[in-house]
Structure 1
């Protein structure tokens, strides 16, 4: 049999990984159908496509036709989730009739949340509260995450309560036909899995692994333990073993050991540390103090003859040598410090356009009109009282019943409700580039590449990019704010370079452009690429001391405006002048000995997405 080439071996590895991921996805369906609300739900990382539709259809078939399958539409309001007033039934019966919310309909079934990475944090908190405090038996949450690699995932409030994670992005269609399909029929909830026990040493190993991988939430450990018990019950056992724990780590966190090279005969004969050994034996074979794990259990059990896999995995996690699936990163569960999902830029509330996020009593702007449905809902509970009052006033004024008009609804000004809108303002990255000196061509070349890469990613978010280059005695706006990649490439084709360094003029031009961008409703992000050696004053005279004073005043003004600023030191060696400039600006300092386009583009793109927070 001929040996596979490097390309063929890589393709074979991708194909094998896709088959493994699909097998894990089918196993996750079985666990979801048995555990139901006890394991929270599923974080499904998948873009729209046939593989995702097939997975959801198989999950729905396994849950059964009697299981409610409720969908949470994007842009839903609080009334959709918790239920509001049914206007049609209220007007027909003359009394307040409440309609059932989506959370109540999902009880005993599944709640499907498409585009969960864009779910409003307030609605995510409401869903999380319903998961923690169910009305009856609870419901299963299926959160579909369609975010890209550089975008923020689902909210921490929601992701922290979902035990299983399945990523379908690395699965091709032929992988779905090469593995056996899920069993036909409904999987009934069997509470017998709760009788499955887990050993203390496995519990300690799970706690150590989850903590070492950066997950400090106690819910993560609970998810791992329940998943391991479900796996043991699925295999017909009443006690978990090491294999169940390893699979639970893969399904919940995406952790798996990399293929290890074959050990030499001398190393193979040497016994390694074992968490199952007797305490006395473990003490004799314990590794040096700097390699000892503090959480290493030492309960007396049967002593295996090879290195314990959990101990190896724990050491790999703490050493940073643990690999994750290419499509399931090392459990990138959302954390409280994670950025918000969606388009970058500051959130504008009480706007004239955008998505609704609440109901207010006061008009958000002078031309706002009351929302008819919300106003009628506010007036519905008082209809009987107002009708009786109107009838009493008519009798007191001796108005004949035939002359008295009876309106279909009694609405007062206090009932007026206004829909509040908000939208995420776009961001504008303003590159202020030092085009002076002998390295100007290299800096400008990398800046051109960074702008082109950034524009390709910012087009979808409607973000813009601008370029200011300073050289000689002044600064020049070479590229006005634009999101046109074609226009940017045409204007960036030939940029001048060389000469003295008017750093103060460049910062002044960037500040003026940032103020103009802010007045247009966008969120400016200043990106200053310099070596910090300004020697030209604002009037063009070569005065280093005066230039330093002017630069200090401009930096203080920029810091007072609270613009998001990035200062990149592109000198061949880091300089204190750039560090001092970043402190005066209140900017994020980054030292790049080689300001390559990819690193600069990624850095600025991440800052633009964080600008909305």
Structure 2
């Protein structure tokens, strides 16, 4: 918080992840030390408030258009509440302002789970990160900062000297940690300068570089470094011998190196950053970050627009009908600039504001549809009961958290010569346990029939306004064709065609291989559907649920 108070525009801001409460209040109280006026905004603020627009009250009072200043018109500290809900449009606008010399952003991330977090476009631009999720009130105390010391540090900041090799060293550290953005080393450099200013020094020292790297790089790392990058072993050629009858020149006295040009070795800096890495970094990477980036593997339902409920969107011009809701303020803003002309054309003493059809603005909202996970389980062969037991447990575990994630589940089993819908989309845990109590097993592997049934359930779910995702659990290749005959080549060709249909319909899918060894055929089939492939031999219900949640980004 002291760094942010010293150089708010250089560090760009703070990503504060914590639920609203007394613990977070102790941190936000220290924001008063930032030498910028604070403006609090919400995730669905309009462009007129950010960039300036028509001042409705002043316009109606003056009878002429009066424009007001926007929040971003001057350097301010913008406090974004519920930052995890910020849409991409707002992130782009704030990101563009942060790239200049404008505001400082305090992003209050109140996300309840890993899937609710700050958008990368904003997180990449903020130097500092604080996570208070596991901090309790008894472990906290009020933040005390000396106003005179902070002001002295601000006055000292422009003259802080930076050794010439520090920017390149910070860039190397970012590369080793898998940080692709060049903003990270630039923000770390700004943090090192602010730390030096706080110490009362005139130049950046090793301790400033180490601390800045810990604060800026640790939460951005995408891989755990094993060792420092090797340095090139450059050996200088020995000087030629002096010619005969010539006195050798005396070597010049070595100039003492300036202390401020000496920097911390890469190895020590890397060890310091590794010590500050999140304890669950490897676990988060193994949970399926790459799978979440696959096509369609979204962690939430699809966004859809309406006029009744959801997150508010900017209003739009339109015609009133039975289902429309008028945006009164937006309508007045559209009508205000034309009042003088309309009074001259149609003078009416009984009307304060003249409204035309072209002024009407209608409210719009955006909501996330519910998601349905369609488990398509291979119930064939001798290991069918074990796979079905795993699927039962995974379905029950996922349903236990369905209310928070807006999830539904459905279960399709394929065996013998066809597939069967055993559980329609539901969020009822009681009904699910009753339906899963006894499931049939045994027979061939009609994989194409299972995919076809899953697609039918997906189409039905879309008709009810849900976003489907197909989860396929199997340990072998298809050997039963759609007509029920035991023809492996035909069955595999039909399974590939159904995989193409899954891809063509844009239905997200996940392929989970439960065989003892990864099956190349299933890997190829997953590629046909552009689906993540997860090999889970001998998986239990907990591992299966964790793998599905990781692939979906939950």
What is the TM-score of this pair, normalised by structure 1? 0.75
- Is the Cα contact below 8 Å between 1:345 and 1:523 reproduced in 2? yes
Among 79, 94, 102, the residue aligned to 1:127: 94
1:141 alignment counterpart: 105
Aligned to 2:469: 525
Deviation per residue, 1:435-483 (Å, 9 max, x gap): 1112222212222232223223332121111111122333222222122
Tell me by how many angstroms 1:197 deviates. 1.1
Q: How far apart are the structure 1 equivalents of 2:13 and 2:452?
A: 53
Distance 1:231 1:328, change over 3 A: farther
Match of 1:213 among 177, 182, 185: 177
Q: CA deviation at 1:200?
A: 2.4
State the Cα distance separating 1:73 from its structure 2 match: 2.4
CA distance in 1, matches of 2:164, 2:63: 62
Contact 1:96 1:380 in 2 (8 A): yes
Residues 392-416 of structure 1, C-alpha deviations (whole Å, 9 max, x = no match): xxxxxxxxxxxx6553222222222
- Picking from 594, 597, 601, the partner of 2:545 is 601
RMSD: 3.9
Alignment of 1:74-85 (within 5 A): 74-85=43-54
Match of 2:16 among 34, 44, 52: 44
Contact 1:198 1:229 in 2 (8 A): yes
Quick one: structure 1 residues 407 and 181, their matched pair in 2 at CA, closer, same or farther if it must change by over 3 Å?
A: closer
Match 1:559 to one of 488, 503, 511: 503
| CA distance in 1 between partners of 2:376 and 2:393 (Å) | 15
Q: Does 1:88 align with 2:61?
A: no
CA drift at 1:380: 0.9
Match runs of 1:291-306 below 5 Å: 301=257
Does the alignment pair 1:569 with 2:513?
yes
1:182 partnered with 2:149: no
Assess, with a 3 A threshold, how the Cα gap between structure 1 residues 486 and 363 changes in structure 2: closer, same or farther: farther
Number of corresponding residues: 522
Find the residue that maps to 1:454 and give its secondary structure. helix
| Unpaired stretches in structure 1, ≥5 consecutive residues | 1-28, 258-271, 284-298, 392-403
Deviations 1:169-226 (A, max 9, x none): 233333324xx84135474372321211121233322111012212232221211111
> In 2, distance between residues paired with 1:256 and 1:372?
44
- 1:45-64 equivalence runs, <5 A: 45-60=17-32, 62-63=33-34
Counterpart-to-counterpart distance in 2, 1:562 and 1:84? 40
Number of the residue aligned with 1:458? 402
Deviations 1:266-311 (A, max 9, x none): xxxxxx9999xx9879x9xxxxxxxxxxxxxxx99489xxx96532
Q: Deviations over 1:530-564 (max 9, x none)?
A: 23433334454444455445434433333321211
**Secondary structure in structure 2 of the residue aligned to 1:84:** strand
What's 1:476 paired with? Answer: 420
**In the alignment, structure 1 residue 113 sits paired with structure 2 residue 56:** no
| Gaps in structure 2 of 5+ consecutive residues | 222-227, 239-254
Contact 1:432 1:506 in 2 (8 A): yes
**Aligned in 2, Cα 1:568/1:343: closer, same or farther, shift over 3 Å?**
closer
The 1-side partners of 2:282 and 2:79 are apart by 23
